[in-house]
Structure 1
Amino acid sequence: MIFSFNSTPGFDFMTYFARHIGANIDNDLLVIPDNIGTGYIRKLSFSAEFKITMHHYVLKEDLIIKRNTSGLGNELITIFFYSNEQTLGIAFDNNPDIQFSERDDSAIQVTSNNLNSTIRFPAGHIIRYAVIAIMPAYLKNLLALNKLNSTLETITSPGSTFLFFENMTAEAKLLLKNLSAVDMSDGLSQFYMQIKVQELLYLLFHKLSKRESLPHQSINSSDVARLLHIRNEVISDLGTPPVLAELAQIATMSETKLKQLFKQAFGDTIYNYYQRARMEEAAFLLKQGKRSVAEVGYELGFTNLSHFSRLFQKHYGFTPKRFSSQT
């Protein structure tokens, strides 16, 4: 199933999606029809400038959501929280969708509404995500910071084109899950939900506020597609360190531009991102309990197991051996 829409400030996703699948909306709740799947979509409007739409369902066929640029510039910020056991496929500028890490079940995407994107959700699996739509000026006032770093300044400035990614913390995952369990028949539920959604925003923007303040580089849908492809290249073989010159050739970018845009979008250098993914993969393999510490280290390209142990301890606070014994 393909659902395509233009991302204009006045667009209401749930209304048009309900028409697309032949469903009714009752009190801002759309129940997925039995012939399509099970679950629901719920919308909450805290103001004309601040809304959230929560999705929780299992579908009988793949769902492909295509967002087309409004052509109006950054009149709306979209913040996409995805937490699921399945990989998330994201594509920009009609390129094949790029999968997030199979070991990372969640992601946060912050984007202006003037970038095309395609998100693919697999059939037969629980889909759980939330989308916050918020106006730049409203968000800036909500953050109430005297000084913004370059990332927050870009996000809250009308006319900016941007896309930033963040991993989701365990705290944010739990909060997102709890939001879907709130009893909306309670008279104070709307008030409670607004507080909790603002808490979700706090967790995200607290991380974004810690990013190094660098001049924002202009970006378009083609650039983003290349960055996602490079990210996929970096994590596809965690036993082999990335080579910048090779990645730049794949991206058809200069090495300088690739380094700048990658750090801007993902908040870290390519090599540091690779090392973090490497440690996360090590933790995943150790949790499975099917490999020894040495086997995991060698599988991830470490010839010196003492070096592997030091890096792992720096990342998690435990040696691989101790981490493995506690899982």
Structure 2
Amino acid sequence: MKQLTIGFGVELDWVPNYAAQLEADIHGNNIMVGSTLFEGTRFAYQIDPNISFLVCDAIYKEDIHFKFKNTRSDFIEIHYNLSEDPGLYYLNNRANVVGRETYNLAILDSAINGEYVVKKGSAAFVLSIFIKKEAYVPYLSKMDGHEDILSTIFNPKFNTVIRNDRMTNKSWWLLNELRKKPVYGDLYRYFCCGTVYQLIAEYIEQLKEVKIKIDKVTKGDIDAIFSAQMQLVMSLKGAFPGIDVLAETACMSATKFKHLFKKVTSQSPHSFYLTNKLAAAKDMLEKGGNNITEVADAFGFANAAHFGEVFKTVYHISPKEYVNLLK
């Protein structure tokens, strides 16, 4: 397996090393074209002193093990992943499955290193937005109820800026529209910049919907909760595993598990499970090929009526109405 050690930052001085390790050529505006390792393009651009981004649309020709070691700790990464083939993100030797159908949104602190493994033949579409922490604070300061996190969330002693989630429907749509655009010329650059600003705004709106309370969380606790999240994601087509089972796997009491799960994910375990179950069911409806009853059966709902009731409660539209909108 090919191993690459790379780092990112808001400033784009990392691009030459990144391209060299990928054995890629750089063409104007930091467009890195395919190489012996991948087929496709990567596009990096710095919008202003505080924000830059990297778009990757590629098919890998080899198994690759990326090791992320940033030389700066002054930024966060908002990582959107619509890769059709899931990859593995490692934190402290624990694997988390990421991609279109599982976790497709991650918030990462540049102070914490990680690893990512992709397999030969994997089709990847990823957008990473790099934002200076000092610039992100004003966004948060405008949000009601989030004053308590401003003094701690960007402190390297607090491992809090690590969060796996699923992007909103609007974010999904924005990225799909971006993916359709030709990767050359000023028009693509302008479209990327507009998309990045809209995604940041959408993520801020997403944060407003949850109540965040931050205190110190150990890496061990984060790993245990991430593992529990993946256990839930892998159980979407079955029954909810139960708090006692999840807590035992995490090696903690049920009370501590529920408390930490809510702290890290801003959702209860059952809410997280149901949200992801419905999102996966909705994805199946969008792909076509299965009727509503078949989708309900695939995800373990009692019947189509029960599925429709839960679906409408969350999305404010019935599955039948949603399918008709897709036509």
Measured against the shorter chain, the TM-score band is 0.7 to 0.9
| 8 Å contact kept, 1:32–1:57 | no
Matches of 2:170 and 2:76 in 1, distance apart? 23
CA gap 1:142/1:310 in 2 versus in 1, 3 angstroms: closer
**What SS is found at the alignment partner of 2:150?**
helix
Aligned pairs (5 A) from 1:75-86: 75-86=74-85
TM-score, L = length of structure 2 = 0.81
* Corresponding position of 1:170: 169
CA distance in structure 2 between the aligned counterparts of 1:240 and 1:205, rounded to whole angstroms: 32
Residue aligning to 1:273? 272
Go from structure 1 to structure 2 and tell me whether the alpha carbon gap of 1:141 and 1:277 turns closer, same or farther (over 3 Å shift).
closer
Aligned residue for 2:138, secondary structure, equals helix
Which of 89, 113, 126 is matched with 1:116 structurally?
113
CA RMSD of aligned residues (A): 3.4
Q: Which residue of 2 aligns with 1:185?
A: 185
Name the residue aligned to 1:258.
257
Q: What is the aligned partner in structure 2 of residue 242 from structure 1?
A: 241
Find the partner of 1:227 among 225, 228, 231.
225
Retained in 2: the 8 A contact 1:151–1:211?
no
Cα distance in 2 for residues equivalent to 1:140 and 1:246: 38
CA shift for structure 1 position 224: 3.0
1:48 is the counterpart of 2:46: no
Stretches of structure 1 lacking an aligned partner (at least 5 in a row):
none
Cα offsets for 1:30-73 (capped at 9, x unmatched): 43344223212211112333211111111211232222476x7x
TM-score, normalised to structure 1, is 0.81
Q: Secondary structure at the match of 1:211?
A: coil
From 103, 107, 120, the counterpart of 2:104: 107
2:65 aligns to what SS in structure 1?
Answer: strand
Answer whether contact 2:8 2:14 (CA < 8 A) is retained.
no
The CA deviation at 1:150 is 6.2
Greater shift after overlay, 282-291 or 264-273? 282-291
Write the distance in 1 (CA, Å) between the matches of 2:168 and 2:217. 26
* More displaced 10-residue stretch of structure 1: 31-40 or 110-119: 31-40
Using the TM superposition, give the Cα deviation of residue 267 of structure 1 relative to its aligned residue in structure 2, in angstroms.
Answer: 2.9
Local SS of the residue matching 2:47: strand
Whole-Å separation in 1 of the counterparts to 2:70 and 2:45: 24
Residue in structure 2 matched with residue 125 of structure 1 by the alignment: 122
- Residue pair 2:143, 2:208 contacting (<8 A) in 1 also: no
Matched, 1:136 2:133: yes
How far the C-alpha of 1:253 sits from its partner, in A, is 2.9
Report if the CA contact (8 A) 2:10-2:46 is conserved.
Answer: no
Q: Which residue of 1 aligns with 2:210?
A: 211
- Alignment-mate amino acid for residue 20 of structure 1: Q
SS at match of 1:230: helix
Change (3 A) 1:125 1:304: closer
CA distance in 2, matches of 1:108, 1:217: 22
Matched, 1:145 2:142: yes
Cα distance per residue 1:229-277 (max 9 Å; x no partner): 2112112223222321221121123334432332233331110111222
- Larger RCO of the pair (alpha carbons < 8 Å, separation 6+): 1
Aligned-partner Cα distance in 2 for 1:54–1:222: 31
- TM-superposed deviation, 1:25: 2.4
Contact 2:5 2:68 in 1 (8 A): yes
**Partner AA of 2:96 in structure 1:** I
SS at match of 1:231: helix
